[in-house]
Structure 1
Amino acid sequence: MNDGNNAPIVGGKSFTAVAINCAAKAGEWAMTKLGNYTSLELKYSAHDLVTEVDKGSERLIRKLVATHFPDHSFLGEEGVEPGPEASAKALEEARDSEYLWIVDPIDGTTNFVHGFPFFCVSIALAYRGEVIVGVVYDPARDELFVAEKGKGAYVHGKRMSVSSEQTLRESLVATGFPADHRYALPLNIKGIGEIAPRVRNLRTAGSAALHMAYVAAGRLSGFWEIGLNSWDLAAGALLIQESGGLVTDTKGGSYSLDVRNVVATNGHMHTELLDALEQAGAHE
């Protein structure tokens, strides 16, 4: 990671340092609860779960952010009603904030519930609608992915760069199975049917934010999914952009906090992936 003295600061406090501290504390606490949660609730569908650990992790992050930056706004997954309409409304109400923290306290809750060690804490900070800090922390592997706008992205303190695969045929690509069974899931399955035969292989490990961190680190060539939210994407999008990759919507439009249908790649096979999704009718 770059020198903390160069990090975005306000009032002498580093945004990035606060984001890292929040992610580390929340991730460490979540690991103490792995396999030991006491309550489990369904949200939008049987694929959309929440535990008291998600809620506690978000409270912890919100409290820490407020301690350092009491005037900043906060958008966390667990503070929003389930469903795509509620998510869009919550973002619309918050997006005009000067500083907005966008948080998924546990991205990959289903994995967490089952003890499958592929989940993370995702924290982004947007300034006037543009993401300037992104942190994804994987507590199971103790891997911290950090990006600052214009200053690169890092893991284990080393600068990341995306992979070099030029075509889908040589690419390892990830996607997911969306919680929205009426619209997003059928569309994504259509995409899987089209993409799977075209790529070296496909992965669906259950955390969009961690998949995007892996694209940034060069471990995946690309990732796409229909029906995600700002808290799934904001930190990972900056990680990829600062690692030399490309993030758009599924029609090729520029990434913004409003994007819900995402394609994120090393940039080389981006157009080919977009074209394949369009051919399958799986891009909107």
Structure 2
Amino acid sequence: MNQWKQMLEDAKEWAKEAGQKQLERAEGPMEVNSKSSAIDFVTELDVWTENFLTEKIQANYPGHVMKTEESGNYDGESDYEWVIDPIDGTVNYARGLPFYCISIGIRYQGETVIGLVYAPKLGETFEAIKGEGASLNGRQIHSSSTSQLDKAVIATGFPYDKGMTEDNNLPHVNKLLPQIGGLRRMGSAALDLCQVACGRLDGYWEIKLKDWDVEAGILILKEAGGEVLMIEEKKGLYVMAANSFLHSKIQAFIIR
């Protein structure tokens, strides 16, 4: 749909403008606060970016619904809903690590049709429109062809309440780690999914996620030929993603 292409182009323009601001502010002092735990950060740029994006959407697409990490839901009458994480990987951003991004997913009548993940410090733009494939900086991408677990490099993450519950992903790690070639923990669910989409990683899983963490990345991965299992649980989303050769093999070790 031409409208989807226009919405994606607008989202890219706004994300890149916001990303430039993030890069500029990362060089100086920054206000950083904790949310649910001592390491669950929100920076002033999380708030600024979210406000910047929601104002752009309201001005250009009045009536569109929005779901955001920092300020919650914005109601509207439209069939379109924007799902926004202003900085996925806030801890990385606050500490000067380059692995963070702006993630924007757009749903139409409840189905995700547009995904954009922009990593300012890396200079990488992952994007997808449903049914049209996925790309990185304008080049088509595809998930890897690795088919053996012992050759696979897989990413994961851990919930903020990891020290207060046994449901902290460590049991999954203990089961899967001896079977695979390598394990990575990089701190951004959206970018982890995109690394699987472009074949740098072979798989990824995590527990207790929110939809703004993965909304865009899941579409990008699916459009790149990968497979995704997502289960809604009481404390958040369980997401397991991989190339088509490894998906069922990984799932056998970490099924919830």
> Normalising by structure 2, what TM-score?
0.92
Summarize the Cα distance change of 1:242–1:204 in structure 2 as closer, same or farther, 3 Å threshold: same
Asked if 1:24 is matched to 2:24, the reply is no
Kept in 1: contact 2:32–2:44 (CA 8 A): yes
Counterpart for residue 9 of structure 1: 3
Q: Which residue, out of 117, 123, 126, partners 2:104?
A: 123
Asked if 1:202 is matched to 2:183, the reply is yes
* Structure 2 alignment gaps of length 5 or more: none
- Following the alignment from structure 1 to structure 2, what is the Cα–Cα distance between the partners of residues 94 and 230? 17
Summarize the Cα distance change of 1:96–1:207 in structure 2 as closer, same or farther, 3 Å threshold: farther
Kept in 1: contact 2:158–2:168 (CA 8 A): no
Summarize the Cα distance change of 1:156–1:185 in structure 2 as closer, same or farther, 3 Å threshold: farther
Deviations for 1:94-149, whole angstroms, at most 9, x for unmatched residues? 79961100000000000011101110000010011111000000101111001000
SS class of match (2:144)? coil
- Following the alignment from structure 2 to structure 1, what is the Cα–Cα distance between the partners of residues 151 and 164? 30
Structure with greater proportional strand content: 2
- Following the alignment from structure 1 to structure 2, what is the Cα–Cα distance between the partners of residues 59 and 158? 30
How far has the Cα of 1:195 moved from its partner?
Answer: 1.5
- Following the alignment from structure 1 to structure 2, what is the Cα–Cα distance between the partners of residues 133 and 184? 35
Q: Which residue, out of 138, 155, 161, partners 1:174?
A: 155
How far has the Cα of 1:200 moved from its partner?
Answer: 0.6
Kept in 2: contact 1:100–1:126 (CA 8 A): yes
Asked if 1:269 is matched to 2:212, the reply is no
Summarize the Cα distance change of 1:96–1:65 in structure 2 as closer, same or farther, 3 Å threshold: closer
Counterpart for residue 50 of structure 2: 58
Q: How many matched pairs?
A: 254
Q: Which residue, out of 64, 76, 86, partners 1:72?
A: 64
Deviations for 1:163-222, whole angstroms, at most 9, x for unmatched residues? 001122111100012123367774311111111111110000100000011111111101
How far has the Cα of 1:55 moved from its partner?
Answer: 0.2
For 2:22, the aligned partner's letter is: A
User: Structure 1 vs Structure 2: percent identity of aligned residues?
Assistant: 35
Summarize the Cα distance change of 1:76–1:198 in structure 2 as closer, same or farther, 3 Å threshold: same
SS class of match (2:147)? coil
Counterpart for residue 126 of structure 2: 145
- Following the alignment from structure 2 to structure 1, what is the Cα–Cα distance between the partners of residues 165 and 63? 36
Kept in 1: contact 2:150–2:179 (CA 8 A): yes
For 2:230, the aligned partner's letter is: D
SS class of match (2:70)? helix
Kept in 2: contact 1:184–1:227 (CA 8 A): no
Kept in 1: contact 2:230–2:238 (CA 8 A): yes
Asked if 1:222 is matched to 2:214, the reply is no
25-34 vs 198-207, which deviates more?
Answer: 25-34
* Structure 1 alignment gaps of length 5 or more: 1-6, 81-89
Q: Which residue, out of 67, 80, 86, partners 1:99?
A: 80
- Following the alignment from structure 2 to structure 1, what is the Cα–Cα distance between the partners of residues 191 and 20? 16
